[in-house]
């Protein structure tokens, strides 16, 4: 990618944004976490063309091929209560979903692509994963004193760019639209969108969580959740203000803090 263009455009969004660009890095999240620990400012952003050890949730690896996707991490220096961290992750998801949808419509005339959020941290297109989000942070005195939002987006991948392991569950914007997307422009659009809509108040938080719900897969449907290697079943009723999933079961409702939502049953 053209790092000079990216630097200039990010500066134009706000001088507050500090960009760290790498052709190759182990993981943008690890580097942003290091910046967090070393007092780098709010809105430091780490962007890489390629990650050698891209990290996914639950210690999984994240495939981050050079020249194909967007791999970046945003350092936010805000005090956040640990119970609100899942909501923050949903906020990232909804703002990214909205930005990609708008950009594809405005720049490429793509109207009918349905892009969905999927609890807890994913963005799906046509039932396959196009984007994953990994939130990390450091807690002192019972509060996160910084968080890192790591974002991986499969943009111009062809099927052969994915490993056998993920080929059937992953997709890219190119595979779903047939269009090669300019990655720099998409990146700038997403960062601009997150920067301008990041909720400053609790009210905005609720508004964005509602938008997340409007675009979420499987709400109101029968689902299975892999929760610490135990499968729990029920109906995906809602999310609460902390972004936890409310699952309705025969004996009542339970709130699920984390897990893998496995599949919906549209009956």
Per CB under 6 A, the segment of 36-44, 128-136, 179-187, 242-250 that binds ligand BTN is: 128-136
Residue written as token pair 């960062």: 191
Is 259 near ligand BTN (CB under 6 A)?
no
Taking the complex as a whole, how short is the minimal distance between the CB of residue 120 and ligand BTN, in angstroms?
9
CB 42 within 8 A of CB 14: no
Give the separation between CA 57 and CA 74, rounded to whole angstroms. Answer: 16
Is 258 near ligand BTN (CB under 6 A)?
no
Q: Which 150-209 positions form the footprint of ligand BTN (CB under 6 A)?
A: 150-152
Taking the complex as a whole, how short is the minimal distance between the CB of residue 244 and ligand BTN, in angstroms?
18
Query: Distance from first CA to last CA of the chain, Å, rounded?
Result: 45
Residue 115, strand partner residues: 125
Residue 25, strand partner residues: 51
Taking the complex as a whole, how short is the minimal distance between the CB of residue 259 and ligand BTN, in angstroms?
13
Q: Tell me how far the alpha carbon of residue 98 is from its chain's centroid.
A: 12
Of positions 55, 97, 157, 183, contacts ligand BTN by CB under 6 A: 55
Containing 103, the helix (H) or strand (E) segment is: helix 85-108
Is 54 near ligand BTN (CB under 6 A)?
yes
The alpha carbon dihedral of 254, 247, 95, 241 has a sign of negative
CB 18 within 8 A of CB 43: yes
Is 51 near ligand BTN (CB under 6 A)?
yes
Contact characters 130-159, ligand BTN, x per CB under 6 A: --xxx---------------xxx-------
44 versus 235: smaller Cβ distance to ligand BTN? 44
Please report, as ranges, the residues that interact with ligand BTN according to CB under 6 A.
27-29, 51, 54-57, 60, 62, 64, 71-73, 121-122, 132-134, 150-152
């Amino acid at each position: 990618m053209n790092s000079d263009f990216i630097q200039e455009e990010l500066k134009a969004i706000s001088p507050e944004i500090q960009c760290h660009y790498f052709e190759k890095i182990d993981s943008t999240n690890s580097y942003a976490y290091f910046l967090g620990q070393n007092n780098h400012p709010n809105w430091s952003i780490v962007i890489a063309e390629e990650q050698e050890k891209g990290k996914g949730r639950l210690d999984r690896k994240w495939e981050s091929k050079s020249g194909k996707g967007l791999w970046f991490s945003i350092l936010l220096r805000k005090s956040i209560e640990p119970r609100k961290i899942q909501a923050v992750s949903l906020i990232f998801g909804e703002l990214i979903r909205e930005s990609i949808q708008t950009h594809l419509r405005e720049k490429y005339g793509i109207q009918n692509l349905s892009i969905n959020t999927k609890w807890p941290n994913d963005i799906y297109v046509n039932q396959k994963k196009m984007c994953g989000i990994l939130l990390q942070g450091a807690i002192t005195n019972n509060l996160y004193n910084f968080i890192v939002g790591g974002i991986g987006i499969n943009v111009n991948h062809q099927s052969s760019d994915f490993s056998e392991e993920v080929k059937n569950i992953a997709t890219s914007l190119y595979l779903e639209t047939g269009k090669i997307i300019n990655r720099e422009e998409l990146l700038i659009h997403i960062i601009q969108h997150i920067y301008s809509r990041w909720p400053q108040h609790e009210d905005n938080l609720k508004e964005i969580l509602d938008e997340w719900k409007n675009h979420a897969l499987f709400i109101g449907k029968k689902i299975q959740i892999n929760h610490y290697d135990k499968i729990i079943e029920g109906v995906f009723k809602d999310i609460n203000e902390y972004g936890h999933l409310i699952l309705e079961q025969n004996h009542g409702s339970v709130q699920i803090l984390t897990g893998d939502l496995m599949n919906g049953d549209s009956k």
